[in-house]
Structure 1
Amino acid sequence: MVEFTVHDEGSAPDEAKATLAEVKRHNGFIPNLYGVLAESPQALAAYQATSEQFLRSSLPKAAKHVVWLTASRRNGCQYCVAAHSGAAVAARVDQAVVDAIRDDKPLDDPKLQAVRVFTDRLVADAGWVDEQEVQVFLDAGFTRRQVLDIVTGVAQKTLSNYTNHLAHTPLDDALAPLQWSPES
């Protein structure tokens, strides 16, 4: 197995040190994903930039968390499902929504369910979502802009999910109670 270093501010390449310091200031620690991404300052910067843009997207807060969780679940990313489960609860997303996505169950909220289904199809079909499925999403009250907003969220999660798969990123201690596996 190829081993990846989980960097901190001391071991990271110089170009990544300021970003890691900012992440630590914001979170109180450096999540292992960021430590791994720091190996490539450009990958770290790309993840940060995509994250910032998705946060600024037109999707409601709960819908953003549905995108993150659904894409991570579909991609089988144990690290990101755990991380986004905690982030969703901290953002006051209903625990039932988080549990349903983790368990691959439908959501009771029709709008969030539309986000979940569209995100799942987008990831599963590598972007080749059938026109009728796109229309179902639009008919649920969303816009073409929000179709592309979800693409942005999926791009963010693709970067982190694939990194975690390659690096076998260890789960942060704080996330241990939220551990998830595709077999769950």
Structure 2
Amino acid sequence: MVQFTVHDENTAPEEARPHLEAGRARMGFVTSLNGVMAESPQLLAGYNALAEQFTKSSLPAKAKQVVLITTSVLNGCEYCVAAHSTVALKAGVDEEVVRALRAGKPVADEALEAVRKLTERVVADRGWVDEQEVEAFLAAGHTRRDVLDVILGVGMKTLSNYTNHIAHTPLDPAWQGQEWQRA
């Protein structure tokens, strides 16, 4: 197995160091994911830029967590499911919703379920989502902008999910209470 270094601000390439420092300021620690991504300063910068834009997107905070967890479950990313489950719970997403998302099951909240279903279709169908699925999402009260912001979230998570698959990123202690294993 190819070993990837989990960098910190002292071992990372110079170009990556400001991004790691910003991550530490934001999260309180340098995540293993950011540490691995630091090997490619451009990947780390791109991922962090997408993450920043996703936080500014039109989706409500809970819906953003639905996109991130759903994408990570479908991509089988153990690291990201644990991380985003932890973040979602801290952000006030109901435990029942987080459990359902982790199991790939529907959620009771209609608006969040519409987000889960559209995200599932975007990931599973590689963006070739049936027009009726998009219309159902819109009928649930979402907007065309929301459709595109779901795609933004899926793209951001795909970068981290694939990085974690290849690098076998170790789980940070902060996420260990929400460990998850793909089926």
Would you call these one fold, judging by a TM-score over 0.5?
Answer: yes
Within a 5 Å distance, the mapping from 1:57-136 to structure 2 comes to 57-136=57-136
Please tell me whether residue 33 in structure 1 is matched to residue 12 in structure 2.
no
The reply to whether residue 155 of structure 1 matches residue 162 of structure 2 is no
**1:60-81 alpha-carbon deviations (Å, 9 max, x no partner):** 1100000000000000000000
Q: What is the TM-score normalised by the length of structure 1?
A: 0.98
Tell me how far 1:175 sits from its aligned partner: 1.3
Cα displacement string for residues 136-183 of structure 1 (whole angstroms, at most 9, x for unaligned residues): 111111111110000000010000000000101010122112110112
Letter in 1 for 2:168: H
CA distance in 2, matches of 1:5, 1:30: 13
1:26 positional shift = 2.0
Write the deviation string for residues 101-144 of structure 1: whole angstroms up to 9, x where unpaired.
01122101011000000001100010000111111111111111
Whole-Å Cα distance in 1 between the matches of residues 110 and 34 of structure 2? 34
Aligned to 1:21: 21
Distance 1:174 1:64 in 2: 20
Counterpart for residue 46 of structure 2: 46
1:19 corresponds to which letter in structure 2? Answer: H
Secondary structure of the residue that 2:145 maps to in structure 1? Answer: helix
Q: SS of the counterpart of 1:149?
A: helix
User: Partner residue of 2:6?
Assistant: 6
Letter in 1 for 2:182: P
Q: In the aligned structure 1, how far is the partner of 2:25 from the partner of 2:49? A: 17
* One-letter amino acid of the counterpart of residue 23, structure 1: G
CA RMSD after TM alignment:
0.7
The unaligned stretches of length 5 or more in structure 2 are none
Aligned residues: 183
Q: Which runs of 4+ in 1 moved over 4 A?
A: none
1:145-184 mapped onto 2 (5 Å cutoff):
145-183=145-183
Q: TM-score, normalised by structure 2?
A: 0.98
Any stretches of 5+ residues in structure 1 without a counterpart? none
